[in-house]
């Protein structure tokens, strides 16, 4: 699995991730109880759904979405961020 951190006004909101073997992608918020993290998750999941609807597989979608600006509380990915490898279990800790 590959992921990039998503930054908000107060720090990391969560991670945008994609897995080619599992044909899956999503946003894993850092704090489910915080409204800012929750709202960011909604925006990123909508963006991922739109990418899938256009036929993008998870890793190309991740690459495309990392270039998008902050919008509607989404936070943003640092432009120079390179996707890192991890497991979903470790992102949920």
pLDDT (tens digit, 9 = 90+) per residue, 8-49? 988 899 999 999 999 999 999 987 778 888 889 999 999 999
Closest by CA position to 25, among listed 33, 15, 37: 15
* pTM confidence score: 0.89
At residue 88's C-alpha, the angle toward residues 85 and 91, to 5°, is: 80
H-only helix segments in the chain: 35-53, 58-65, 88-91
With beta carbons less than 8 A apart as the criterion, state whether 56 and 65 touch: no
* pLDDT at 93 exceeding the cut of 80: no
Q: What is the pLDDT of residue 80?
A: 84
Assess contact for 56 and 48: CB atoms under 8 A: no
Phi, psi of 66, deg, nearest 5: -65, -15
**What confidence score (pLDDT) does residue 72 get?**
84
Domain boundaries, the chain: 2-91
């Amino acid at each position: 699995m590959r992921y990039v951190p998503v930054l908000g006004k107060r720090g990391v909101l969560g991670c945008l991730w994609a897995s080619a073997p599992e044909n899956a992608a999503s946003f894993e918020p850092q704090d489910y109880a915080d409204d800012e993290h929750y709202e960011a998750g909604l925006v990123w999941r909508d963006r991922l759904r739109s990418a899938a609807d256009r036929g993008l597989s998870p890793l190309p979608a991740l690459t495309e979405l990392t270039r998008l600006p902050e919008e509607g509380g989404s936070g943003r990915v640092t432009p120079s961020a390179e996707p890192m490898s991890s497991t979903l279990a470790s992102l949920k800790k």
